[in-house]
Amino acid sequence: MKKFYGLIILMMLMFGIASGCSSQEENKNKEEGKQEQVELTISAAVSLQEALNEIKASYEKEHPNVKIVYNFGSSGALQQQISQGAPVDLFFSAAEDKFDQLVAEGKIEKEKGTDLLANELVLVVPKDADKGIQTFEDLKKAEKLSIGTPESVPAGQYAKEALENLQVWKDVEQNIVYAKDVRQVLTYVETGNVDAGIVYKTDAMVSTKVDVAATAKEELHTPIIYPVGIIKDSSHQEEAQQFYEYLQDPTSMETFKKYGFKGVN
């Protein structure tokens, strides 16, 4: 009988030790929970690609528990994805209207968004082009001109506005090759598939295969503003807020400026 009771006591002691170890492990895990791996998805206009990739490298170095995943595309297509419930943490748009639509839908809280960057619209031609296209008015000489699809690509919307205000749109409309985003426009020009294209200044800067023929005057189109904001349904609000603030700090702004962007403020 004594042996039996002794066995019970021994089992109870072992259970107590195991429970204590388990509790300590749980507490340890809770403490380490602050450093658990988090994946942030940022839907961003494709024109931001080079600048954001550089910022990603520095941010992940400073925050090893956070992995930044970008979804680059046209702002219109990205906005539709978010509207339909795509799991996104931040939206970085190349147009205010696409961003404002998500605010109106309640996908982004107004106080958790800001107009961060500005850009310019330029006319580009292939290197060593001989079509004599040096101004937007010269586009009448182009057999093929590429712009982004205005309904979904902000750069295409701005391009159409500029050409309409210059009273050139009707002359070139039948020769336009529409692209899914501004980088596809750039590719068409680089490969010589079109005689000219209209892209952002920042896109032209990353290409060695095109020349900038002209820059559109600001009054010819809606201001090119890039808003960024946190998606309300993000499951990583704290980390999204931290990256949102990081995008606005002086170091990040210098990176954006290096790639041709301007600060709004």
Does position 78 have pLDDT exceeding 50, yes or no?
yes
Q: What is the percent of the chain with per-residue pLDDT over 90, rounded to a whole number?
A: 85
| Farthest-apart Cα atoms in the chain, separation | 107
Q: What confidence tier does 11 reach under pLDDT thresholds 50, 70, 90? A: low
Nearest-CA neighbor of 40 among 2, 63, 67? 67
User: Stretch 140-149: mean pLDDT, rounded?
Assistant: 97
Give the Cα separation of 252 and 246 in Å (integer): 7
Does position 27 have pLDDT exceeding 80, yes or no?
no
User: Stretch 42-57: mean pLDDT, rounded?
Assistant: 98
Q: What confidence tier does 36 reach under pLDDT thresholds 50, 70, 90? A: confident
Give the Cα separation of 127 and 211 in Å (integer): 6
Domains, the chain, with CATH or none? 35-118+225-263 (3.40.190.10), 121-220 (3.40.190.10)
**Which has more pLDDT, 62 or 7?**
62
pLDDT of residue 30: 43
pTM of the predicted structure, to 2 decimals: 0.84
Does position 65 have pLDDT exceeding 80, yes or no?
yes
Tens digits of residue pLDDT in 152-202: 999 999 999 999 999 999 999 999 999 999 999 999 999 999 999 999 999
Nearest-CA neighbor of 221 among 91, 118, 139, 116? 118
Does position 2 have pLDDT exceeding 70, yes or no?
no
Please provide residue 147's backbone torsions phi and psi, each rounded to the nearest 5 degrees.
-140, 165
pLDDT of residue 170: 97
Give the Cα separation of 186 and 173 in Å (integer): 18
Q: Which amino acid is at 234?
A: S
pLDDT of residue 12: 53
User: Stretch 234-263: mean pLDDT, rounded?
Assistant: 97
Does position 21 have pLDDT exceeding 90, yes or no?
no
Q: What is the percent of the chain with per-residue pLDDT over 70, rounded to a whole number?
A: 86
Average pLDDT, the chain: 90
Lowest-confidence pick of 15-19, 76-80, 82-86, 215-219: 15-19
**Which has more pLDDT, 22 or 121?**
121
How many alpha carbons lie under 13 Å from residue 115 in its C-beta half-sphere? 13
User: Stretch 13-37: mean pLDDT, rounded?
Assistant: 52
Does position 7 have pLDDT exceeding 80, yes or no?
no
What residues have CB less than 8 Å from 218, skipping those under 6 apart? 120
Give the Cα separation of 26 and 169 in Å (integer): 66
pLDDT of residue 128: 87
Q: What confidence tier does 33 reach under pLDDT thresholds 50, 70, 90? A: very low
